[in-house]
Amino acid sequence: MNYDRTVSLTSDFATTVDAVREALAAQGFGVLTEIDLAATLKAKLGHDMEDYLILGACNPSLTRRAIEADRTIGLLLPCNVVVRREGDHTIVQALDPNTMLALTGLPALQPVAQEAAARLDAALASLADRR
């Protein structure tokens, strides 16, 4: 099972991060958390790696619906979006919301997962259009 939705861009890392934030906002997602993995590993372990940022995105309406269907679904939230460098490209990856459906097997989550997937797909498509 693929658990990601991915787009590869030629824009630089900082430009892509800004574009990802805008694309997510246009689809009703806010960024609740931000983990600069490259900076964290450098500070904690002295390890150098490519730019790698994890954004924890949340659409409040979808989150409320998911939580009402299953209180433990918070373990799979927020929707993580990774922005990372790979060679001369910047990769943007979002966790496929259908993963929560596959893991829980709860039919009540299907409409939430489908809508979240459609919104994330639209955000990623808008990034691809900027190439």
pLDDT in tens, 28-45: 999 999 999 999 999 999
The pLDDT of residue 75 is 92
58-62 long-range contacts, CB within 8 A, separation 24+: 58/29, 58/30, 58/31, 58/32, 59/27, 59/28, 59/29, 59/30, 59/116, 59/119, 60/28, 60/30, 61/28, 62/28, 62/112, 62/115, 62/116, 62/119
Please provide the average confidence, as pLDDT, over all residues in the chain.
94
The pLDDT of residue 10 is 95
pLDDT category of residue 100 using cuts at 50, 70 and 90: confident
Residue 1: is its pLDDT beyond 70? Answer: no
CA–centroid distance for 47 within its chain: 24
Q: Hey, what amino acid is at 117?
A: A
pLDDT in tens, 63-77: 999 999 999 999 989
pLDDT category of residue 131 using cuts at 50, 70 and 90: low
Annotate 4-18 with b (16+ C-beta within 10 A) or e (fewer): ebebebebebeebbe
Per domain, the residue ranges of the chain are 4-123
Residue 128: is its pLDDT beyond 70? Answer: yes
CATH number of 4-123: 3.30.310.70
